[in-house]
Amino acid sequence: MERQVVITGLGVVTPLGNDVATFWEGLLEGRSGVDLITLFDPADLDVRIAAEVKDFDPVALFGKRAARRNDRFTHFALEATRQAITDADIKFEGSDGQKVGVLIGTAIGGFITLLDNFEVFKIRGSRRVSPFMVPMMMPNAASAAIAITYGLHGPNLTIASACATGSHAIGEAGEMIRRGQSEVMICGGSEAIIAPIALAGLKNMGALSTRNDDPQRASRPFDADRDGFVIGEGAGVLILESLEHASARKARIYCELTGYGATSDAFHITAPDETGQGGAWAMEQALSDAAITPEEVDYINAHGTSTPLNDRTESIAIRTVFGPHADQIAVSSTKSMIGHLIGAAGAVEAVACVKSLETGWVHPTINYETPDPECDLDYVPNQARRLEPKVVLSNSFGFGGHNGCVILRKWDETA
């Protein structure tokens, strides 16, 4: 019999708050975490808005030495992990560390470290480049730092699949528990790439919103006037356990991870296949994996980036999979409030899904003002909704045609 996988701990660092309670409160209130950039002077850029993490002091959290020897994306991952471990009330002692794995994904890794050291190289020469540059910038740095911090000797790896990374990390971590490779997985995603050159590149490819004069209304998924996504940063981390392991230690169980799907559009390096077929296949895989019918899904946390092509394509994919039932499903985009966290997006959005199952509420898609005839689903416009979902689905679709989908089910201790 296949092993069941449950979620027992949550942690986040986000543009709406640096803990789960504050983040969730902000989502239900429909607050925007988007504003003018403060991390650097964006005056010379065409895009001057982003969804930054605020009030985050790595020196206070980790001490001066550790703060200097880790990139910002690793700082985010370490803090979100600390929260998740505390939330799960789990301890790692002795040989128990061999049963615990780490899978923290990122699309880019230590981007800020690379940029900083390149400037040092140009101005001050090769001898002044930090000896910590490579271990700070490598994509697996966050996973490694977590394992080192907590003495975890189980499987340790990193996934990089652009904007699908967070969902892939959760899904693959669940598979490792299912096949008995690990009893516990610390999984999720982290990203920190708010930098001038990143904004320039994304803007020049036509991906970003340019609503500099109205930052909080810039991210508007599924709205007819959407003009691109808003770059964000942060981390989301979840503790997954086998049901046997969680039950043995009498853990509080949030929900069950029941389904996972992963496909490729094999179409274009950035644009989605406009038929939506790749995303539809991922959702169908996840439904099959969860052994449920489309009619059992109550809520979809959409990829919902606020780009013209993505939102239309995702809406088509949902209709392809769910048929007439699509009209009965609440669909909302977390990115309307926190922007696009790239490799961390799917993980932070999974945390929002867990909170929906726990509380019975689904958060809104804010800034939804003008319906788009080609996006014709129920996007939970502007106000949170009491729904009491039992089964939720979360989509993540990335540059390169990567598609990831996870399905979570409300935990019933009496079942």
Kindly state the tokens that stand for 249. 């230690």
Relative to beta strand 184-191, strand 330-332 is unpaired
187 an active-site residue? no
314-325: string of b/e by CB count within 10 Å (b at 16+)?
bbbbbbbbbeee
Provide the residue count of the chain: 415
> Distance between CA atoms of 51 and 42, rounded to whole angstroms?
14
Q: Which of 75, 163, 168, 255 is catalytic?
A: 163
340 an active-site residue? yes
Q: Which of 340, 353, 363, 402 is catalytic?
A: 340
Q: Which of 75, 168, 303, 363 is catalytic?
A: 303
> Distance between CA atoms of 398 and 284, rounded to whole angstroms?
18
Nearest to 49 by CA among 180, 204, 228, 184: 228
Relative to beta strand 330-332, strand 49-50 is unpaired
303 an active-site residue? yes
Report the chain's terminal Cα–Cα distance, integer Å: 17
Q: CB-side exposure of 317: number of CA atoms within 13 Å?
A: 29
Indicate which residues carry an active-site annotation: 163, 303, 340
